[in-house]
Chains A and B, each alone.
Chain A
Amino acid sequence: MKRRDLLKAGIAGILVARQAPVFAQANTVHILRWNDFVPAADKVLREVYAPEVQKALGLKLNVETINANDLPARATAAIQSGSGPDIILLLNNYPHLYASAGVDVSALAEEVSKSQGGIYAPAVRLNKVGGKWVSMPWSLVPALIAYRKSWFDEVGAKSFPKTWQEYHTIGKKLKAAKRPIGQTLGNTFGDAPTFTYPLLWSFGGQEVNAKGKVALNSKETLESVKFMVQFWKDACDEGGLAWDDSNNNRSFLSGDISATLNGASIYVAALNGADKFKTEKGAPLHTDILHAPLPAGKNGSHNYHTAHNHMVMKYSKNQKGAIEFLRWAHKPVNLEKWLVVQKGYAVGTAKSWEKHKMWAESGPVMAPFKVAAAGQSRLMGHAGEPNAKAAEAWNKFIVTVMYAQACSGKMTPEESVKWAAGELGKIYT
């Protein structure tokens, strides 16, 4: 057979079948996600999931990963141009921002919720818009404080401080010993807002009231900002104003800071690199790390854990394949492979994952991560809904900048609170 004959036969076949040959059909699922802070998890997607999905569903899984800060831009570009990845990872309440572009995945969500002990309430609120699941919650990355046990011991903290005032006192001593607390107040997606929003809530501040009216300019908010200014000066590494989400990981691992709000990625990196990361006494660094929730203010202790959600895009030509892939990935036997390598950095969004045997193996150091998701009660836009307006405020870093401006001395606490309330007012009109 000549090459020309082969081509003719192929084209004739396509014409008869009235569809493209199998290899050219839309049997590829392109998923866009962040560069995971636990690189082994991305490896599972590429090296375990991809071949298994090919075998089980006949789907070619194309995994693309980018910087988390760039995900919204990619989503916007894809939606506007009507082409791009079939599934996009959306953090936090971004599903509300892109709700009209998501395929209804209610059937899958209800199925997973029913079979896996129920999806945590915050994850439901973040993914359900107008009574419909516009995206599928995949995981939560709990934000807890990683701290150096021995260094806290040395300044008299036998257990982690329970209140902000105690944390301030201990932090002051740590900074005096050139072991400051590390916290970003930069324009960055994760560690900054997961600190500033709970700080605001724990002092009783809120962005809006239950009716959705801006309520930020309050005595409680001002108290929290004033506290932060002093805490920043006395206890924190002031370089944190320029940090992104990775700076605190590096600073902690290099022994430059004593504590920082983070996912478990610092601990996981120290564990995986036990030979590389050591304490000043030569012990593996991971043996000196513990985790704790954020301290309490007069309104209790609050934490916000970053939600990771998968949206199947309406423009996708392979919506069915994309949903089938998610259904396959959410099966406990498959999800487990990804969650186990996370070692607790990311946790499942369904309650049954708290009972997984991995928690028994990871021991007390990871115990706070096991129960973190169940303890989360507040979301951005509190005391209103985590809707598109709340997403806009989050994305403009208004609450974080409110603290940053006061801490940097650019504005007084009063001016900064007034500024932030004004900016929120323009969103919530």
Chain B
Amino acid sequence: MGGRRAGQDLHLSAEQARVSRLTRLLESEKALAAALLAPGVAILVLFIAYPFVMALWYSLTSIRVGEPGEFVGLANFTKALNDLIFQQAFKNTVFYTFWATVFKLALGMWLALLLNRHFRFKRIVRASMLLPFIIPTVLSAFAWRWMFDPTFSVMNWALYHGGVITDRLPFLSSGDWAMWCAVLVNTWRGMPFFAITLLAGLQTISPDLHEAAALDGANAWHRFWHVTWPLLLPVTLVVVVFSVIQTFSDFQLIYVLTGGGPANSTHLIATYAYQIGVGSGLLGEGAALSLFMFPVLFAVVWVQLRYLKRMENG
């Protein structure tokens, strides 16, 4: 019998042998896993790792547009640390990220709690709530820019004609106002993401827990604080991590809304790095500026994920 099988094998064509080898390879779990992961890894390497490594290399050189430059060590980082515009951009980025995240979390939570109730047209309201998130940032930022326009602001017009103000409000022409306007627009845009994710989290909480707490005499606040919040915390932390990453590296909104002005008051790290690297062609310096975002974001993500893990274990 063994001899017959050996004979058949000998008669297998080269093509069949290849197919057979491929089948055997795919039957191996390790090989199949590698094959399935390969496209994803290739994309990550090509679009994430390669640009990151290139940025690292650029940041250590004096490369300018059209000129390769030479290795300069940490000179670009030193220059950035002594750059007053960069220092301001860094502070602005922290301020912008902190307040936008606080508002998005507070308002997103409030909205999620409201939407978790039963009311008429609930589905339409839930769907429409996503609109700010769906509209491309550039378009919505342009719309806001018109609403904040120093001369033609519809809000100034309404407030003025409503007798609320006598002088136009300096929405984008005062540094402080402009920064708060940017925080407001970012909150408006990012709040639906918080709300919809937290809403999904809320729906996984069993109503029995609330009923039990209510029977024990807990009021609405106690039920939220002792039942909803602890159960929602893991989801909340994940949403906050995503939001911090996106807000800290925000570019489009500021670029369109203020261009970093007035007097650099709203420059973020990303917009300033763009101005230096792409606008002025100083690619090495621009790369160094943008890399300042990396350790900060890494630390934020690490602390939050560690906290999350401890909670899961504890």
Most chain A Cβ neighbours within 10 Å, of B67, B170, B174, B263 = B263
- Which chain A residues numbered 162 to 215 have a C-beta less than 8 Å away from chain B? 185-188
> Would you call A243 and B150 a contact (CB within 8 A)?
yes
Does B295 have its Cβ within 8 Å of any Cβ on chain A? no
Q: Inside 8 A of B260's CB, which chain A residues have their CB?
A: 187
A148 to chain B, nearest CB (A): 16
Q: Report B133-161 CB contacts with A as 1/0, cut-off 8 Å.
A: 00000000000000011111000000000
Number of chain A interface residues as a range: 35 or more
Contact B282 A408 (CB under 8 A): no
Tell whether, in the assembled complex, residue A419 and residue B283 are in contact, meaning their CB atoms are under 8 Å apart.
no
Residues of A within 8 A of B275 (CB): 395-396
- The segment out of A13-21, A27-35, A67-75, A109-117 that lies at the interface is A67-75
- B96 interface contact, C-beta 8 A: no
**A242/B258 in contact, CB under 8 A:** yes
- The reply to whether the CB of B163 lies closer than 8 angstroms to some CB of chain A is no
A72 CB contact (under 8 Å) in B82, B170, B280: B280
B9 within 8 A of A: no
Mark out the residues of chain B between 273 and 293 whose CB falls within 8 Å of any chain A CB in the assembled complex.
274-283
Residues of B contacting A362 in the complex (Cβ-Cβ under 8 angstroms): none
Contact, CB under 8 Å: B259 / A187: yes
Are B280's CB and A392's CB within 8 A? Answer: yes
Report if A250 contacts B (CB, 8 A). yes
For the complex, give the distance between the alpha carbons of A178 and B265 in Å.
28
Interface size class of B (residues with CB under 8 A): 35 or more
Q: Name the segment of A94-102, A331-339, A342-350 touching the other chain.
A: A94-102
Contacts of A419 in B (CB 8 A): 84
Instruction: Contact check, A72 vs B281: say whether CB atoms are below 8 A apart.
Output: yes
Encoded as 1 (CB less than 8 Å from any B CB) or 0, chain A from 68 to 95 comes to 0100110111011000000000000000
**Interface residue B245 (Cβ < 8 Å from any Cβ of A):** no
Asked if residues B173 and A241 are in contact (CB atoms below 8 Å), the reply is: yes
B83 beta carbon closer than 8 Å to chain A: yes
Interface string of B84-122 (1 = CB under 8 A from A): 110000000000000000000000000000000000000
Q: Are B279 and A72 in contact, CB atoms less than 8 angstroms apart?
A: yes
Contact B259 A391 (CB under 8 A): no
Stretch at the interface among A1-9, A232-240, A286-294, A351-359: A232-240
Residue numbers in B under 8 Å from A97 (CB-CB): 65, 280-281
Q: Does B178 lie at the interface of the complex (its beta carbon under 8 Å from any beta carbon of A)?
A: yes
Name B168's closest neighbour in chain A (CB-CB).
A239
Separation of A244 and B261 alpha carbons in the complex (Å): 10
A185 to B276, CA, bound (A): 20
| CB pair B274 A242 closer than 8 Å | no
Assess whether A395 is in contact with B279, with CB atoms less than 8 Å apart.
yes
Distance between Cα atoms of A419 and B85 in the complex (Å): 10
- Interface: A401 (CB within 8 A): yes
Instruction: Given A72-B281, A423-B85, answer yes or no on A247-B150 (Cβ-Cβ < 8 Å).
Output: yes
Q: A247: which B residues are within 8 A, CB to CB?
A: 149-151
User: Does B132 count as interface, using CB distance less than 8 angstroms?
Assistant: no
A426 to B87, CA, bound (A): 14
Q: A187, B264: Cβ atoms under 8 Å?
A: yes
Check B280–A69 contact: CB distance below 8 A. no
Give the residues in chain A near B79, CB-CB below 8 Å: 426
B175 contacts partner chain A, Cβ-Cβ < 8 Å: yes
- Whether A242 contacts B173 by the Cβ 8 Å rule is yes
B60 interfacial contact with A, CB 8 Å: no
A256 to B281 alpha-carbon distance, docked (Å): 38
A215-241 residues at the B interface, CB under 8 angstroms: 237-241
Given the contacts A242-B150, A256-B151, A395-B280, A98 and B65 also touching, CB distance less than 8 Å? yes
A100 contacts B279, CB within 8 Å? no
Q: Is B234 an interface residue (CB 8 A)?
A: no
A254 to B149, CA, bound (A): 14
Q: Are B151 and A237 in contact (CB under 8 A)?
A: yes
Nearest-Cβ distance from residue A222 to partner chain B, whole angstroms: 17
Known contacts A98-B66, A408-B262, A410-B265, A242 near B178 by CB under 8 Å: yes
CA distance A238 to B84 in the complex (A): 25
Instruction: Note all chain B residues with C-beta closer than 8 A to A79.
Output: 65-66, 281
Q: Is the CB of B278 within 8 A of A237?
A: no
Measured between beta carbons, the chain A residues less than 8 angstroms from B280 are 72, 97, 391-392, 395-396
Given contacts A72-B280, A73-B278, A396-B85, contact A242 B261 (CB under 8 A): yes
Contacts from A to B (Cβ < 8 Å): 69, 72-73, 75-77, 79-80, 97-101, 185-188, 237-244, 247, 250-251, 254, 256, 391-392, 395-397, 401, 404-405, 408, 410, 419, 422-423, 426
Known: A98-B65, A186-B259, A396-B280. 6 other contacts (CB 8 A): A76-B281, A79-B65, A98-B281, A241-B170, A242-B262, A392-B282
Q: What are 17 A-B contacts defined by CB distance under 8 Å? A: A75-B281, A97-B281, A185-B262, A187-B264, A238-B173, A240-B150, A241-B172, A242-B150, A250-B151, A254-B152, A392-B280, A392-B282, A395-B275, A395-B280, A396-B85, A408-B175, A426-B79
